[in-house]
Amino acid sequence: MDANPILAQTMRGNWVENRHRGAYVVIDADGIIIASAGDIERPIFPRSAIKSMQALAIFARHADSQFHHTQEELALACASHTGEDLHVGVANGLLARLGLSADDLECGAHQPLDAAARAALRERGEAPSSLHNSCSGKHSGMLSVARAMGVPTQGYVNRDHAVQQQVRAVIEAVIGEPLSEARCGTDGCSIPTYAAPLRAFARGFARMATGHGLSTELATASQRLFDAATTHPHLVAGTGHADTLIMTAFKGRVMQKYGADGVQCGAISDKGWGYALKCDDGNIAASLAMVSALLLDIAEPDADQRKLLEGFANQPIKSVRGAVVGDLRAVVRQG
């Protein structure tokens, strides 16, 4: 099998230090490929890049109407947030309406990803809880699914639990392909993650953006989730995060979501295109350079949007003293 093309590289001084290979595909809801590079049929774990697909389970089981999810709660269900007070408050509010608490979250606790939030927590002498986990919004949404289904909340992260079976079913419906137990792992937040072709995830985002190929219920739910995420981009990530900055800049035109180990997925809604990208070595910064270069090519950015994307596509590398000593840059795309 041929190696994927080099899509980004690190320059230190005048010499290439690292080369990052990857693959990407831009596709419409009918499966017509707009642009691609590398092996787009190789199954990849999408990780957190498809949280909006996972959140469709909220609608499939009518938890949205039973528990009156706010737009902010729906945005947080799609999020890998930075643990700021706003994120914690939104997740906690939904849990309270469910009659649950942070103790019912099975994602685990970690320090807030946001530096200011970490410092504030230390100043208060508090330990982080599961609410600070970047996936607490998704997990709160999954707990609402359990409540709506009338099944036990304990163990909702397990592969054979009714909630995860429902999550799997909505992902399959959106990407149009079965997910296999032969290609299943456990994500960092303890829920199952299934590998499928890069092409399938990109097409799933195109279908969510347009509703084409989806049931009326799933199409409506997809629109609500995309609207929530792009209306409240700070909830989907946080202060200074690329996903938040990109969605803010594009004012609803672009749904953008990163995943661990170098995955980037999203949709350009007004074009009806979905995209998916994987950096082979899992470098998140390199994948950001790659997807930013891709969006420069396909999203028709205005001057301000272009400036933002160019900053991510060519990221300076600095010494401890703050001197620029190199850069991480996207290279000429292939395909």
Q: What is the pLDDT of residue 51?
A: 98
Give burial (CB, 10 Å; 0-12/13-18/19+) of 179.
Answer: buried
Q: What CA–CA distance (Å, rounded) separates 121 from 116?
A: 9
Could you tell me the pTM of the whole model? 0.96
Measured in Å, how far apart are the chain's first and last C-alpha atoms?
Answer: 17
Q: What CA–CA distance (Å, rounded) separates 36 from 329?
A: 19
What domains can you pick out in the chain, each with its CATH number?
6-330 (3.40.710)
Segments of 58-143 assigned E as strands: none
Q: Three-class SS of residue 132? A: helix
Q: What is the pLDDT of residue 247?
A: 98
Backbone angles phi, psi at 2, to 5 degrees: -65, 145
| Residues paired with residue 194 on neighbouring β-strands, in sequence order | 184
Q: What interhelical angle do 162-175 and 216-231 show, nearest 10?
A: 90
Q: What is the pLDDT of residue 217?
A: 97
Q: What CA–CA distance (Å, rounded) separates 178 from 115?
A: 40
Looking at residue 160, its amino acid is D
Q: What is the pLDDT of residue 333?
A: 57
Q: What CA–CA distance (Å, rounded) separates 6 from 316?
A: 19
Give burial (CB, 10 Å; 0-12/13-18/19+) of 321.
Answer: exposed
Q: Report whether 36 contacts 275 (CB < 8 A).
A: no
Q: Which residue has the tokens 């933002």?
A: 308
Q: What is the pLDDT of residue 210?
A: 98
SS (H, E, C) 219-249: HHHHHHHHHHHHHCHHHHCCCCCHHHHHHHH
**Pick from 272, 271, 168, 173: nearest CA to 217:** 173
Residues in the chain, how many? 335
Q: What is the pLDDT of residue 335?
A: 44
Q: How far is CA 7 from CA 17, 218, 278, 288, in A?
A: 14, 34, 10, 11
Note down pLDDT in tens along the chain; length 335 residues.
689 999 999 999 999 999 999 999 999 999 999 999 999 999 999 999 999 999 999 999 999 999 999 999 999 999 999 999 999 999 999 999 999 999 999 999 999 999 999 999 999 999 999 999 999 999 999 999 999 999 999 999 999 999 999 999 999 999 999 999 999 999 999 999 999 999 999 999 999 999 999 999 999 999 999 999 999 999 999 999 999 999 999 999 999 999 999 999 999 999 999 999 999 999 999 999 999 999 999 999 999 999 999 999 999 999 999 999 999 999 965 44
